[in-house]
Amino acid sequence: MHEYYFRECMTPLVNNGNIGSFYHFMYGSHGTEYIAKRRSYQDFIKIKAIGYMDYTQRKKFINGYTRLAV
């Protein structure tokens, strides 16, 4: 099940042709939020599963990135 969420979370970043630092998130099951981020188009996509209420870890992970709305 985690593989499905990881794939669905990073798909908008793969299809995005813009230059910049973007992140995309989606809510999963069992109180988990999946966040994918990419600094540039040639960079690796980093994905992390974080608990819903873990604001400090979420803020630290997406600091300096712009939300990609789909």
Answer for the pair 48, 32: CB distance below 8 angstroms, yes or no.
no
- Residues 60 and 37: their CA atoms lie apart, in Å, by 12
Residue range 6-49, pLDDT digits in tens: 889 889 988 887 788 999 999 988 889 999 999 987 789 999 99
| 3-state secondary structure (DSSP) of residue 66 | strand
Mark out the alpha helices in 1-70 (DSSP H runs). Answer: 2-15, 55-62
Dihedral over alpha carbons 7, 12, 16, 19 (to 10 degrees)? -90
Q: pLDDT tens across 41-66, in order?
A: 778 999 999 998 899 999 999 999 99
2 pLDDT band (50/70/90 cuts)? confident
Q: How far apart are CA 9 and CA 46, in angstroms?
A: 11
Predicted TM-score (pTM) above 0.95: no
